Amino acid sequence: MSGWAIAGACIFSHPKDFTPVCTTELGYMASLKPEFEKRNVKVMGLSVDPVENHAKWSVDIGEATGHAPNYPMIGDTDLAISSSTTCCRLERAKARTEGRAIDNMTVRNVFVVAPTKRSSS
């Protein structure tokens, strides 16, 4: 958030691209973006899938829900963000992947970041 002139952020994680429930959730968040903008809040999505997948999936989300993602979607393929938050089941990551992202590793989570840069989930 450094350098952004915003009141806060809403960062939400999803387990896997191209899944039915995540598709509807991301489409719904896109439909709510104008409400976040009224409050000067930045919306961002997060998963361990690569950004290239997010770009392809955005088309499907738009077709399925009528609202393609209109916010950034972070590809956390190296687990840098997920492992430093409650988005990731670390025991599972360490036991099965030796630090690599696996399907459905991230859990659904929402972080609200205040202008003070403090977050809560």
Q: In what helix (H) or strand (E) does residue 11 lie, and over which residues does it extend?
A: strand 8-13
Active-site residue, 87 included: no
Q: Hey, which bits of 51-116 come out as E strands? A: 73-75, 109-113
Task: Pick the catalytic residue from 10, 22, 87, 88.
Answer: 22
Structure tokens at 16: 């896997």
Q: 120 forms bridges with which residues in the sheet?
A: 112
Active-site positions read 22
